[in-house]
Amino acid sequence: PELGRRFADRKRCADPECSMLMCRGKAMQDFKGPDCRFVNFKKGEAVYVYYKLIGKSTELWAGSVGSDFGYFPKDLLEINHNYSNEELELPTDVSLICCF
């Protein structure tokens, strides 16, 4: 995806604050992101999804692995538990995360 300040204009969340878990999955392979906005994981690790980008970067979701939070390609995750069936469509915020 394009690595600008905002990956997509809209996202889907389980609640208006995007603080509730949507689902949990297992990483199907290792992933190391291109910068600090991405969460890294190893094959087999549990990944928790908080929101799904929609629009121009539909391949990215946001979630956590342990205490780390960031974006990752959704195709690397095998969903094994849904926490919510409700999905609200909301605008995304401009990322304030800067990588050095």
Provide the domain count of the chain: 1
pTM, full prediction: 0.86
Predicted local distance difference test score (pLDDT) of residue 79: 96
Predicted local distance difference test score (pLDDT) of residue 5: 59
Is residue 40, in this structure, part of any structural domain at all? yes
Predicted local distance difference test score (pLDDT) of residue 1: 45
Residues 6+ apart with CB under 8 A from 49: 21, 22, 23, 24, 25, 61, 62, 63, 77
Is residue 5, in this structure, part of any structural domain at all? no
Mean pLDDT (10-residue bins), the chain, 100 residues? 65 94 97 94 98 83 95 96 91 65
Predicted local distance difference test score (pLDDT) of residue 89: 93
Predicted local distance difference test score (pLDDT) of residue 2: 46
Structural domain boundaries enclosing 85: 10-91
CATH of the domain at 71: 2.30.30.40
